[in-house]
Amino acid sequence: MRTSDCLKTIKPYMFVEINRKRDELIARGHDVISLSVGDPDASTPEYIVEAMKAFVADPSCQHYPSYYGLPEFRVAAAKWMTRRFGLELDPDTELLTLNGSKEGLAHLHNAFVDPGDYVLVPSIAYSVYESGALLRGGKAYRLPMNESNGYLADFESVPAEVLKRAKIMFLSYPNNPTGAVAPPVYFDRAIEFCLEHDILLCHDNAYCDISFDGYRAPALLERPHAKDCAIEFFSLSKPYRMTGWRLGFCCGNEEAVQALAKVKSNIDSGVFNAVQRAGIVALEGPQDCIVDMCCEYQYRRDVMVETMNSIGLECKAPKATFYVWAKVPPAYTSASFCEKALNSAHVVLTPGSGYGPDGEGFVRISLTSPTERIVEAARRLKECM
Ligand SMILES: *Cc1c(COP(=O)(O)O)cnc(C)c1O
């Protein structure tokens, strides 16, 4: 058999390889602490699990779901957007249920990218923005993103010949992996830029509710004219600790939402209705599970930031996301530091270089392990330095 040329242009998913190394050490009997993948350690809040049990048994949940998402879920998500951001969205035309936001982000390219087209992707980014384009025979143009521009990807410098064939610009703040947040003026400029060049602006807002020190992350859709050019992605995975359930939604510009809906209706058959109904319970239930968890992440963040700085890995305390982005000491690369942490401390970190060219020289430390494990990982890292 012969696989596609497109397939050859994408790398194996980074965490597949990292998890393989982790499992190898575990198999050899080592006590490995994984601070790699961003998957909340605590279980899904009880009230969501309990509700789900009843929905599974309900025959109305056992048939094919709607391609666009359960109407009641779309209404609940639209109401959540109103409560959370003060936005009015039409749940019938401007909002779509997703099998987790990764699925929607990956499939969006099918609706916009033809072979040879460009997508604009920050030079440190969630890999799905790029791989979705490569699988379509498209190309990714990397927007410089580094400490000196405050990790606000620089789209002003894109050459004219790239702009002519650019179809989507991806941004994501609060940012995975850097923890950076964006000021409203940055969003305004991005909207202006995308309107000017007829580009879809895609904002991935998976971390809007994981924030600290009183910071409250906005939606890009709150900005004037955003709906004329933008689509925004939200996920129930991180705030409600539902990563395994696969539920998210996108909303915003009707043409973009409907284009993605057309793609998806030809590929998948929607999200299990029981999961969508549990999602309604999550969005409408008590939200203190998020507040409590953020307090815990904040404590872990402070432990890690303090330790990292004390052993020569410079880092700032992020205002949002559950990641610490730390600069490795001059003698190391991203990969060689991860190797050292893994072999000497049995701590799994993620190399910054895996997120793109500007990530080299950094590691991402995920705070989604139990607090005592974070403390233990910090102790071991300190010892091995
Ligand atoms: C976790 C994450 C997502 C959400 O993933 P789901 O598919 O909804 O679980 C999206 N974008 C980024 C940047 C993430 O880190």
Residue corresponding to tokens 């270089």: 353
If we measure between CA atoms, which residue out of 207, 289, 190 comes closest to residue 240?
Answer: 289
Burial of residue 379 (CB within 10 Å: 0-12, 13-18, 19+) is middle
- Probe residue for ligand 1, chosen from 99, 101, 202 as the CB with the greatest number of ligand atoms within 8 Å: 101
Look at residue 14 in the predicted model and tell me its pLDDT: 80
pTM: 0.97
Residue type, 3: T
If we measure between CA atoms, which residue out of 234, 252, 355, 378 comes closest to residue 309? 378
Q: How much distance in Å is there from the Cα of 282 to the middle of ligand 1?
A: 17
pLDDT at 18: 82
The secondary structure of residue 321, as a DSSP letter, is: S
Instruction: Please identify every stretch of the chain with a pLDDT value under 70, giving residue numbers as ranges.
Output: none
The span from the CA of 277 to the CA of 72, in Å, is 8
Q: Determine the pLDDT at residue 153.
A: 98
Pocket mutation for ligand 1, best pick of 98, 103, 237, 321 (most atoms within 8 Å of C-beta): 237
Q: What is the CA radius of gyration of the chain?
A: 21
Instruction: Give the residue whose CA is nearest to atom 15 of ligand 1.
Output: 176
Cβ-based neighbours of 120, under 8 Å, separated by 6 or more: 140, 141, 143, 155, 158, 162, 166, 168, 169, 170, 199
Query: Pairing relation of β-strands 95-98 and 248-252?
Result: antiparallel
**What's the CA-to-centroid distance between 147 and ligand 1, angstroms?**
23
**Best probe residue, ligand 1, of 126, 205, 209, 236 (max atoms within 8 Å of C-beta):** 126
Mutate to test the pocket of ligand 1, among 127, 172, 176 (most ligand atoms within 8 A of CB): 176
Atom in ligand 1 nearest the alpha carbon of residue 126: 13
CA end-to-end span of the chain:
49
Write down the pLDDT at residue 95.
98
The position carrying tokens 């910054």 is 352
Range list of H helices, the chain: 5-9, 14-27, 46-57, 71-85, 101-112, 128-134, 160-164, 184-197, 254-265, 273-284, 288-310, 334-345, 371-384
Q: What is the pLDDT of residue 203?
A: 98
Quick one: which atom of ligand 1 is closest to the CA of 248? 8
Atom index in ligand 1 nearest the CA of residue 243 equals 9
Q: How far is the CA of 236 from the centre of ligand 1 (A)?
A: 9
Per-residue pLDDT at 286: 93
Q: CA 202 to CA 234: how far, in whole Å?
A: 11
Buried b (16+ CB within 10 A) or exposed e, 86-114: ebebebeebbbbbbbbbbbbbbbbbbbbe
Q: How far does the centroid of ligand 1 lie from the alpha carbon of residue 102, in Å?
A: 6
* pLDDT tens for each residue of 121-172: 999 999 999 999 999 999 999 999 999 999 999 999 999 999 999 999 999 9
- Determine which residue's CA is closest to atom 2 belonging to ligand 1: 206
Instruction: Give ∠ CA 107-113-118 in degrees, rounded to 5.
Output: 120
Task: Take atom 1 of ligand 1 and give the residue whose Cα is closest.
Answer: 206
Cβ 89 vs Cβ 78: under 8 Å: yes
**Which residues surround ligand 1 with Cβ inside 6 Å?**
38, 100-102, 126, 172, 176, 204, 206, 235, 237-238, 243, 248
Q: How far is the CA of 103 from the centre of ligand 1 (A)?
A: 9
Give the residues across from 252 on adjacent strands. 231
pLDDT number for residue 307: 95
- What tokens appear for 170 in the block? 């991806």
**Probe residue for ligand 1, chosen from 121, 204, 208, 275 as the CB with the greatest number of ligand atoms within 8 Å:** 204
> Which numbered atom of ligand 1 lies nearest the CA of 103?
7
pLDDT, residue 20, reads: 87
Q: Could you tell me the distance, in angstroms and rounded to a whole number, from the CA of residue 245 to the centre of ligand 1?
A: 12
Cα 114 to middle of ligand 1, angstroms: 25
C-alpha distance from residue 79 to each of 73, 263, 272, 283, 284 (Å): 10, 25, 21, 9, 9
Is residue 328 within 8 A of residue 365, CB to CB? The reply is: no
